[in-house]
Structure 1
Amino acid sequence: MTTQHHLDDATLLRYASGDLDSAFTMVVAAHLAMCDKCRKAARDAEEIGGHMMDHVAQAPVSDDAFERMMARLDSGADEQIEVDLPKKSAPDSDVPLPLRALIGDHMDDVRWRLVAPGVRKYEIQQGKKGESSLYMLNISPGMAVPEHGHGGAEMTLILSGAYRDKLGVFGPGDVADLDEDIEHQPIVEPGEACICLVATEAPTRFKDLIVRLMQPFVRI
């Protein structure tokens, strides 16, 4: 499997510095488990960050800084998924290692919910209320997703199958690291359903009126 579409450099730096929320952290970690190139880039980013920290002058802290930090930890504030730089998935599983704790060892373990003809969804509960959404989609072969844009950052990792849009063909391991300026219409390749992991900051902006009216029920 050769990955063609990779994470943006800014995303890798944010991941290495712990600046992503739990939904985007999970998508990045799952991609790193499938992509040698980005896994190496993430390690390099962490090493650069560590080197910079070693050479930054220490900043003064208040006398009660430790107590305030412990109180913040006890309250669960800024909860994130703890993910080490992952290795590749074991050969007996078709799920990237960081994702297994959330969905199981095999795609067949996922309990899909039909949300539209040819589209099934699995919502992944994680983090605190108000964070970005994390979910999986299972889209039937040959199906075209309605043309849409994004209300914020969106990251889609292909786990199996493939789709194509104006940005190219996205297959297993590929990630679409998009912002609010991108509009596209993914079309699933024939022969196999496309299963993907998605993190979004805000609901998708569909252009078709009927689709927009259905959106509160589909929750995509």
Structure 2
Amino acid sequence: MTIYHHLNDETLMAYAAGSVSESMSFVIATHLSLCPNCRNKVIEMESLGGVALEDETQLAMQSGALDTVLGMLDDDFSKEKLTPANDQNKSDIPMPLAQYIPSELNEIKWKNMAPGIKTFPLTEVKAGSGSVRLLKISPGVTIPEHSHSGSELTLVLKGSFSDEIGRFKAGDIADLDDDTNHQPIADSSEDCICLVVTEGPLQFKALVPRLMQYFVGM
């Protein structure tokens, strides 16, 4: 798998520092399981962070600090985030996504969202006012034009899509903020399946998609 679109350095830095939400961390960790480039960057950032901590003046630990650290070590995302998927998982599902869905993409029980678009919400991952879901887009189908209320990460698992930014294939991730306005289209002969996390509702431009949004909560 050749990956052309990676996470922004700012996103990786925030992830390495532990300052992203659970839902964002989940999708970032899933991309890291596929992408050695981004994995290596996170390792370097964490190493630099460790050096910086060693240089800091020692301070007294707050009460409960040890319990907090042990809790972080028990977190599934933290344990799996830098482990290549192929080392743990022989299906077409990368880790840590594999623990939330069937062992094969074709076994997922999709829900109809719109003509040519199906969804599978990952309700077990806390997303606050946003959402985490899988999208399955039929060949040639376009997601209506929209912007974002907050950040959005879209990781391609199968197929491909194109938008104003470029073409995204399996393993690629679109790291977008609220300044991005785009209209993705599934541009290959197979379904495009993506893992998508948003920090807030999408901002659709047309009336019909906005009405659809009311029912599907995206």
TM-score, normalized by length of structure 1?
A: 0.88
Task: Trace 1:111-150 onto structure 2 (pairs within 5 A).
Answer: 111-128=109-126, 130=128, 132-150=130-148
How many matched pairs? 214
In structure 2, give the amino acid aligned to 1:208.
A
Runs of 4 or more above 2 Å deviation: 59-62, 68-71, 79-84, 88-92, 126-132
Q: State which of 192, 195, 198 in structure 2 corresponds to 1:194.
A: 192
What is the deviation of 1:130? 2.6
User: Residues 129 and 199 of structure 2 are in contact (CA less than 8 Å); yes or no, is this contact kept in structure 1?
Assistant: yes
> Given the alignment, which residue of 162, 169, 172 partners 2:170?
172
Task: Kindly state the Cα deviation for residue 26 of structure 1 after the two structures are TM-superposed.
Answer: 1.2
C-alpha displacement of 1:69:
7.1
Aligned to 1:23: 23
From the superposition, tell whether residues 18 and 131 of structure 1 become closer, same or farther in structure 2 (CA, over 3 Å). farther
Residue 95 of structure 2 is aligned to residue 97 of structure 1: yes
- Tell me the distance in 1 between the aligned counterparts of 2:184 and 2:175: 14
Shift of 1:131: 5.8
- Specify the code of the residue in structure 1 equivalent to 2:149: G
Q: Distance in 2 between matches of 1:59 and 1:17?
A: 19
Shift of 1:32: 0.9
CA RMSD of superposed structures (Å): 2.4
CA distance in 2, matches of 1:130, 1:217: 18
Stretch of structure 1 that moved more, 140-149 or 84-93: 84-93
Which residue of structure 2 lines up, in the alignment, with residue 87 of structure 1?
A: 84
Kept in 1, the 8 Å contact 2:23–2:126? The answer is no
Mapping of residues 47-58 of structure 1, within 5 Å: 47-58=47-58
Q: Which residue of 1 aligns with 2:37?
A: 37
2:33 is paired with a residue of what secondary structure? helix
Q: Secondary structure at the match of 2:85?
A: coil
2:100 alignment partner, SS class: helix
Quick one: distance in 2 between partners of 1:159 and 1:8? Answer: 19
User: TM (normalized to structure 2)?
Assistant: 0.89
Once the two structures are TM-superposed, the CA of residue 211 in structure 1 deviates from its matched residue by: 1.2
Secondary structure in 2 aligned to 1:24? helix
Instruction: Kindly indicate whether the alpha-carbon contact (under 8 Å) linking 2:160 and 2:168 is maintained by their aligned counterparts in 1.
Output: yes
Given that 2:160 and 2:170 are in contact with CA atoms closer than 8 Å, whether structure 1 keeps it comes out as yes
| In structure 1, distance between residues paired with 2:201 and 2:79 | 26
| Helix, strand or coil at the partner of 2:174 | strand
- 1:188 maps to amino acid: A
Q: Does structure 2 retain, via aligned residues, the 8 Å contact 1:21–1:132? A: no
What letter matches 2:184 in structure 1?
A: P
Distance across 1 between alignment mates of 2:30 and 2:162: 21
C-alpha distance 172-127 of structure 1, shift in aligned 2 (>3 A)? closer
CA contact (8 A) 1:116 1:218 kept: no
Task: Give 1:139's aligned amino acid.
Answer: I
Larger CA deviation: 163-172 vs 85-94: 85-94
